[in-house]
Each structure stands twice: as C-alpha cells, then as structure tokens.
Structure 1
Amino acid sequence: MSKTSTERDVFLEKATEIAEQTFWGHVGCKMVELKEGSVTVELDVKSHHLNLIGILHGGVHATMLDSAMGILAMSSKPQDKMVTTNLNIHYLAPAKEEKVRVQAKVVHESNSMMTTEGTLTNESGEICAFATATFRRS
C-alpha cells in the first residue's frame, strides 16, 4: 500500500523530532527528502567526524548509510519496529571536510523483511561508499 505525501510528512516531522535526541542528532545528520521508496540524508563533515588520517571515519559512513536505509524501513512499516539484520559496506573513496549525501532506496520488500541499498557521495558527486542492508520486523 502506498503512502500519501501527508503520511510521509507526518512521519518525517515525528521522526526528525525524536532523532534529534539520539545518536543521529549527535552526529549531525539531516534528512533532506523522504519519498516512497527513497530517502536523502546529508551531513556537513567537520573535523570531529574524521579519522586519524584526516578522512571521514568509516563509522560515520556506516551510521549515515544504516540510518538512511533504516528510515526507509521504518517509514514503509511505521506500525512495526524494524531492525537491521545485515549491513554490508564497500568503502570506495575518501571524503573530507565537505558536505556528503546518502541516497537510499528499497530493493525488495516482503511482509516482514526489506532489502535496501545506499550510496554516500561527496560534494563532487564521487561515490565514497556503497551499502546494502536488510531489515526485519522486530
């Protein structure tokens, strides 16, 4: 069953308010767009997001990708608690202190499971990381 833009707007508003008090808010991620089957998330990378060699920490990549794909799972099944069962990330290129963006989409959905994919790109559009994730109803 498809969600109307009003239902997505309500979910987005509620989720954004809650997220600001969690790890998501601590990291500084911002949801830019939520549509049926896709989401866009951005982060202004600061020095505290970098690892010891001066590039975006792999854990920040993972946080952004898992969170974006998780938003899709939760917005698709708002009556359920969806949890990550598998997260697979390929790190392809470094990101520095710049704006990075994750775009994620649904690949497959069943009654209790969902598979998603996401890409993290830097300001020049280069793919820095690619991920897939599976979520199940908890």
Structure 2
Amino acid sequence: MTLIGTRRGLSGLEYFQRVLAGEFPAPPMLQLMGIRLVEVDKGRVVFAATAEERFYNGTGVAHGGFAATLLDTALGCAINTTTPPGKRFTTLELTVNLTRALTIAAGEVRCEGVAVHVGGRTATAEARIVDRNGKLYAHGSTTCIVVESAEVPNG
C-alpha cells in the first residue's frame, strides 16, 4: 500500500497517532533524516532528531537544510493533524530562522510545531528547535493551502 493509500479514510490526527503507535511506518523522508515523531495532539506535534555528522556542511556544523527540514516537518504535520479525511495541504510559504549552529554536541533536539490558524482554505503554523536545556537553535513558520486530496498530485 502506498503512503497516500495508508492515509485514505483517516484524519491527519488519526494517521499520525498510528505512526506514533508503530502501526504505520514513518514517512520515507523522516526515516531518511532520522526524524522521530514523539508526541502528537490535534494541532501540535513534537519530533526529535540528532544533527549527526552525516548532515554537516563544509564548515563542520549541520547544514541549514537539516534544521529547515525538521522545522518544515513539524510545521506541516501540526497542520496535518487538523485535517479531516479527504483533505490534504501543500506549503505556500516556509520561513526559517537559524539562531545558532547545530552540531552533534547538542544531542537530541526537539522540534515542536503548533498550528496557529486553520481555516477552510489556508493554515499557518509555528515551530521551534530546542535542545534538552531549552536552548533555541532555530524557529520558523509556514503558510499552507488546504485542498481536497484529488487537488494535490501524487507524483
């Protein structure tokens, strides 16, 4: 069964609750990046990841794309948990603010995403990446459009 087929008939919250419970595999991008879902509620998700050396750029710190991917994941999934069956979303805008370099020395970081507004057609969310001591590494926001599943191509 495809990822889209797995989600069919489920709300976004139901889908991510099943991912968290281990009933469904995490989406492939999360598996690739070592990003783990650790909490999920309607309009709120928390992911955990470690900035391993495989994500480093030439300056010896995690590439900004690592933090951007973690933020984008939490932002989109926070919105996704509010969508009913038959609805999907796609990103219109993604803002990423990198506040300090992220390395493996930070240990496991957490990224909490929270839906701020979910309307009939648009949705917004905010997210923050922090270490175990609450030190901020990055924060961001997104604006998404909410559509019928058929409006977003599968390929």
TM-score by length of 1: 0.84
Partner SS, residue 127 of structure 2:
strand
Distance between the aligned counterparts of 1:109 and 1:71, measured in 2?
13
Once the two structures are superposed, residues 79-133 of structure 1 have per-residue CA deviations (whole angstroms, 9 ceiling, x without a partner) of: 2111111000111111110211101111111112110000111233211111010
Q: Which structure 1 residue ranges, 5 or more long, are not aligned?
A: 1-6
Whether the aligned pair in 1 keeps the contact of 2:13 and 2:80 (CA below 8 Å) is no
Distance between the aligned counterparts of 1:27 and 1:88, measured in 2?
20
Q: Of the two, which has the highest radius of gyration?
A: 2
2:131 aligned residue (113, 118, 122) = 122
TM-score by length of 2: 0.76
What is the one-letter code of the residue matched to 2:44? Answer: S
Whether the aligned pair in 2 keeps the contact of 1:95 and 1:122 (CA below 8 Å) is no
Q: Which structure 2 residue ranges, 5 or more long, are not aligned?
A: 1-11, 148-155
2:102 alignment counterpart: 95
User: Aligned pair 1:62/2:68, yes or no?
Assistant: yes
What is the CA distance between 1:41 and its match in structure 2?
0.5
> Sequence identity of aligned pairs in percent?
23
1:41 aligned residue (22, 32, 47) = 47
User: After TM superposition, what 4+ stretches of structure 1 lie above 3 angstroms from structure 2?
Assistant: 7-11
**Count of aligned pairs between the two proteins:** 131
What is the CA distance between 1:50 and its match in structure 2?
1.6
